[in-house]
Amino acid sequence: MKRREFLKTAGVGLAASTAVAAPAIAQSMPEIKWRLAASWPKSLDTLYGGCEYFGKRIAEITDGKFQIQPFAAGEIVPGLQVLDAVQNGTVEIGNTAMYYYWGKDPAFTFGTALPFGLNTRQMNAWLRFGDGQDLLNDLLKGYNAIGFAAGNTGAQMGGWFRKEIKTVDDLKGLKFRVGGFAGTILAKLGSVPQQLAAGDIYPALEKGTIDAAEWVGPYDDEKLGFVKVAQHYYYPGWWEGCGQSHNLINLAKWNELPKAYQNAIQVASGDAFGWVIGKYDFVNPPALRRLVSQGAILHAFPQPVLEACYKAASEIYDGLTKTNPHFKKLYESLTAFRNDSLAWNQVAELGFDNFMMRQRTRT
């Protein structure tokens, strides 16, 4: 065969093989559509926005073959029933805070924030490189689910109070809208925890039905207008040194997925983690400045108040480690890591941050 004819024939063969190969690869990726039930209203555009971002990344990674559509709280199920919806297969996946389900098992609180637990970077390290995520998934297995970290608020604020908190006695009888495990700890000190949905908090504060309320932080708190009815804004939110959210997936649906799609979920969940905390870190500083200009008065919780809350929390944890095997394993794992992490952070991170914060006041 002449060289020119060979090249022509080879070129046709190459084109034909390429034309066959591309559809074959594409056909090996099944088209799958899932629904994601979120615990967040659309007004929480960082937490709910993280769900939208997650769905977008899944589509990009899988060339549009795997579609996950998010639905806000109440569109499929109420925000506090996301785990139930995942467990029974109403939806394939949900994005939620695991501590919402601490009534099912107190160990669920570790998935979001153990009061006086970890900050955001510590949580990320413990979940990924400690045994945090494995222990949480061992807990979730009993609820027909598997989970992956998929967003974080950073350290939260301590809430809005109609009156100042100067001593531990000021907590007694305090009607405080506070979520999760923190209510149990504060009740031990005489407070009266209240469970209210976002839309009910402002009128309750305005009418004096409650004395205080916590939500998330400046950016989200500003939207609810708390500064108009309760000017005393406290920090830190010791019950949430970070606010970790998870993508919870029905275990049977997870096992049915191709390995490539399982990997896509893990990658996109990690991307969403970075997107959510990055946005909060960007939008909270100007929101705090705006709130102060509108009359918010910033207060640190007095040291004796924090110490009393820490002592009450430790007593509760001590009791739970004696009666709850999941809680015991998670608590021992978290505290061992936290102690080492704090010692290291005191050397590097705290030293650097303290210096830079002092310099800020001089420039």
Which of the residue ranges 88-102, 155-169, 191-205, 238-252 would you say has the lowest mean pLDDT? 191-205
Report d(CA 77, CA 259) in Å as an integer: 29
275 has pLDDT over 80 = yes
Eight-class DSSP state of 232? E
pLDDT of res. 51: 98
17-47 in b/e burial notation, b at 16+ Cβ within 10 A? Answer: eeeeeeeeeeeeeeebebbbbbbbbbebbbb
Q: Residue 54 pLDDT more than 90?
A: yes
The domains located in the chain, with CATH, are 30-154+242-282 (3.40.190.170)
**pLDDT (0 to 100) of residue 138:** 98
Q: pLDDT value at position 215?
A: 93
Cβ proximity of 112 and 181 under 8 Å:
no
The predicted pLDDT at position 19 comes to: 41
In tens, the pLDDT along 300-342 reads 999 999 999 999 999 999 999 999 999 999 999 999 999 999 9
Residue 37 DSSP label: E
pLDDT at 15 over 80: no
| pLDDT (tens digit per residue) in 185-200 | 999 999 999 988 777 8
Instruction: Return the pLDDT at 195.
Output: 82
- Kindly tell me the burial class for residue 121, based on how many C-beta atoms sit within 10 Å of its own C-beta (0-12, 13-18, 19 or more): middle
Output the pLDDT for position 27. Answer: 57
Half-sphere exposure of 98 (CA within 13 A, CB side): 31
Distance CA 297, CA 306 (A): 19
Q: Give the residue from 243, 95, 235 showing the smallest Cα distance to 181.
A: 243
Give per-residue pLDDT as tens, 276-290: 999 999 999 999 999
* 27 against 17, higher pLDDT: 27
Predicted confidence (pLDDT) at residue 75 exceeds the cutoff of 50: yes
Examine the pLDDT at 11 and tell me if it is beyond 50: no
* Cβ neighbours around 122 below 10 Å, total: 21
| Ramachandran angles phi, psi of 337, nearest 5° | -65, -45
pLDDT confidence band for 12 (50 / 70 / 90): very low
CA distance 335 to 30: 43
| pLDDT for 6 beyond 60 | no
- In the 8-state DSSP scheme, what is residue 300? E
The reported pLDDT for the residue numbered 199 is 79
Report the C-alpha dihedral over residues 179, 185, 191, 196, rounded to 10 degrees. Answer: 10
pTM, rounded to two decimals: 0.90
* pLDDT tens for each residue of 128-140: 999 999 999 999 9
Going from the C-alpha of 138 to that of each of 87, 108, 147, 329, the distances in angstroms are 14, 11, 10, 11
Across the range 18-27, mean pLDDT stands at 42
